[in-house]
């Protein structure tokens, strides 16, 4: 099960069903149906689990067709604020870059046993360290 992270406590995350816009992933793009762990601050050791959710629908679109209402429902004041956030989060994005509009449905609230701890960077053992200590 993959993690879908959010950098802010968007009001939409309190709803049973919500949407999010994501740039397609190069390694493994999101798909329907996929169950994800929704978390706040996914790369932080203080990440906060929110819920489990299922991707129910995926539309590939571009920012040009995102409406003002969709931007507001996504938690932004307007579409220009959303565009500013997207440009800051994804270098090189243009209004013609494909983006996924994902429709998610919460399955259940956070269950501690289902969400693994975030690895700490200082706990990772580097290959170089093993070589340096081997005789």
Task: Give pLDDT, residue 11.
Answer: 84
Residue 14 DSSP one-character state? G
How many whole angstroms separate alpha carbon 38 and alpha carbon 106?
A: 9
Reading the block at residue 40, the tokens are 């706040």
End-to-end CA gap in the chain = 39
Angstrom distances, CA of residue 34 to CA of 38, 56, 75, 90: 12, 8, 23, 23
Task: Give pLDDT, residue 7.
Answer: 84
> Could you read off the pLDDT tens digit of each residue along the chain, which spans 135 residues?
899 998 888 888 888 999 999 888 888 899 999 999 999 998 888 889 989 999 999 999 999 999 999 999 888 899 999 999 888 888 889 999 999 999 999 997 655 544 445 454 444 444 444 444 443
Contact 92, 86 (CB under 8 A): no
| Whether pTM exceeds 0.75 | no
Q: What structural domains does the chain harbor?
A: 2-133 (2.30.130)
Q: Which residue matches tokens 């579409």?
A: 79
How many whole angstroms separate alpha carbon 98 and alpha carbon 75?
A: 20
Q: How many CB atoms lie within 10 A of CB 12?
A: 15
């Amino acid at each position: 099960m993959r993690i879908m992270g959010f950098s802010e406590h968007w009001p939409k995350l309190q709803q049973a069903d919500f949407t999010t816009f994501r740039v397609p992933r190069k390694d493994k793009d999101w798909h329907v149906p996929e169950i994800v762990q929704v978390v706040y601050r996914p790369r932080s050791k203080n990440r906060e689990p929110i819920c489990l959710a299922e991707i129910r629908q995926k539309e590939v679109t571009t920012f040009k067709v995102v409406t003002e209402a969709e931007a507001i429902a996504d938690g932004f004041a307007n579409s220009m604020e959303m565009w500013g956030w997207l440009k800051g989060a994804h270098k090189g994005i243009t209004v013609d870059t494909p983006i996924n509009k994902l429709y998610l449905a919460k399955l259940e609230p956070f269950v501690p046993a289902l969400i693994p701890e975030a690895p700490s960077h200082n706990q990772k053992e580097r290959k170089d360290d093993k070589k340096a200590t081997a005789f």
